Every structure is written in structure tokens, then in C-alpha cells.
Amino acid sequence: MSLRQAPIGVFDSGIGGLSVLQALQAALPLEHFVYLDDSLHAPYGERGDAFVVQRSRAITTYLRQTHGIKALVIACNTATMAAVARLRAEHPDLPIVGVEPGLKPAAAASQTHRVGVIGTRGTVTSAKFEALHRSLHDQATFAVQPCDGLADAISRSVASGDDSKTIALCAHYISAMGRFGINPGEIDTLVLGCTHYVFAQDHLAKLVGPQVQILSTGEPVARRTQHLLEQAATLNTTGPGRVELVTTGDPATLQAAARRWLGFATGDAVQWVERGQCAPPDHLSPAP
């Protein structure tokens, strides 16, 4: 297989990264993607940095050795904040694209100069996020809200079909942030700082109102991935595009999420990765 036909690896701690995969498929319809859902170890957003780095390194090694990926997309804000620099240093030959909350475009787009940011605790308390936040202090005021449990509630709603907990948590966290709207002093732009939250966007839009902009990261990530592949001359120009789904957790949950949000057929298979196949390298301490 030529490098052009090699797959692009995409991973997240759960199903939230499917929102990034959705954007990647739209931008790069001829590409082959391998999506790894590390739900056995989710949620990353409530783990420490050392654990997230460990899992990110293990997954990258697995995707390279088992699937021969030509590029990697870290479809998780927490993993990007914690691990992207380490992964780029350890894999200098591999194009790696991360995601981060869209504070910069939000600051530029806001007319009231008040921006709301929702994310996992791991993301919004990270050093990288804090540095980004500080760098924009003269451009906008940010209301930053950690949303404990929201990513997990979105994931669980796939299996149960019940969005009530997701709706309740969205209402709780949005109400804690202040007034939304387009009048002076109101938050007129909301940044989704977790890839899971895209799948609650309809609920969030009802809470903040139709005049408030909601920004996610899928499309910018897809554009950046396309640019890096063009630079490396590894864009697949023949197709057909396809997706392979891999999980360390429950295959039925990932399959149901792919059906619900990506339109996958009922019979599409999901590969389950045994824990030993995607374990940390021997020189790292075992996952807690």
C-alpha cells in the first residue's frame, strides 16, 4: 500500500471525536480513516495529565504499528493540551493535528467582547489553556465553565436514548455562566471546548438563544489536516473513502453512536481492541 492510500488515525477518549471525524470525512471524502475510541479509559477530562499522556502515547504507537497511519488527528481537547507536544517530539515524521478550544476566533467574532467557554475540567485547567486564555485578555472577557459529567452524559445517551441528563447538565452549566445575548455585557459567543459537546449543540442553542454564535473545532481541524497532507504530497486521490471503527470499550456503544451521528449502516462492524494490544509501552507505568 502506498503512503497516499494509508489511513489517517483519529482518536478520542470516547465517541466525542466522531464530530471531528464527521468534518474530516466531509473535507477529505477519498481518505481512509481509523477512529479509535478509548472509552475503557474515559473520560480523559477528569484524569491527570500523566495518565492522558500515557494513553496518547500508547494509542499513537498502536495506530502506527497496527494500522500504518500516515497522519494523526487528536480529536480530544484534553489529550491535545496534555500530549500533543510530546507526541510531535516522539514522532517527528508523522503529521499530527490537535484540537483546542477556539478562543482566538471567538474573540475576533464577538461583538460584545464577552465569550463563554465550556469544556472538561482537564482542558480548562490545563497550563496550555491558561496560556491561551492569558494571551487574549485584552481582546475579550471569557466566562470559562468546567462541565463535569457532561461528556459522559452525552456518551451514555447513545445507549439509553435518553437525553434528559444531558439537557439538565447543559441547563445547569449555561445558567452558571451569566447572561447570553447581543446586548452590552452579555455573552454573544459560546466556544465548545470538548468534541463531545457538538452532539449537544441543539440543546445548547435553545438555552443561549438564536443570536449567540456557537463555535466548534471540527472544520478548522479538517482544513489543517488537508493542508498538511497536501504539503507532504500524501493526499489520497483515488478513494474510495472508508472508515474503520476501533474501541477499547463496548463496540455496541460506538456502533450506535456512528449510526446516530454519522449515518453508518446497522451492519457496519466495530473492532474491539484487547487491552494488551493498546497498552502502554513497557517502560511506562501501568494505567491506574
76 labelled catalytic: yes
170 labelled catalytic: no
What the chain holds in terms of domains, given with CATH numbers, is 3-99+218-278 (3.40.50.1860), 103-215 (3.40.50.1860)
pLDDT tens string 205-261: 999 999 999 999 899 999 999 999 999 999 999 878 889 999 999 888 888 888 888
Residue 282 pLDDT > 60: no
The position carrying cell 453508518 is 264
Of the two residues 87 and 284, the one the predictor is more confident about is 87
Residue 266 pLDDT > 80: no
Cis peptide leading into 240, omega within 30 of 0? yes
- The answer to whether 45 touches 151, Cβ cutoff 8 Å, is yes
Residue 278 pLDDT > 80: no
Of 237, 241, 248, 278, residue with least CA distance to 262 = 241
Of 52, 174, 169, residue with least CA distance to 117 = 174
CA distance 151 to 199: 10
287: confidence class by pLDDT, cuts 50, 70, 90: very low
Mean pLDDT of 267-277: 66
CA distance 90 to 264: 34
Count, residues in the chain: 288
Of 76, 147, 170, 278, the active-site residue reads 76
Neighbours of 238 (CB within 10 A): 8
Per the prediction, the chain carries an average pLDDT of 90
CA distance 74 to 135: 23
pLDDT at 267: 53
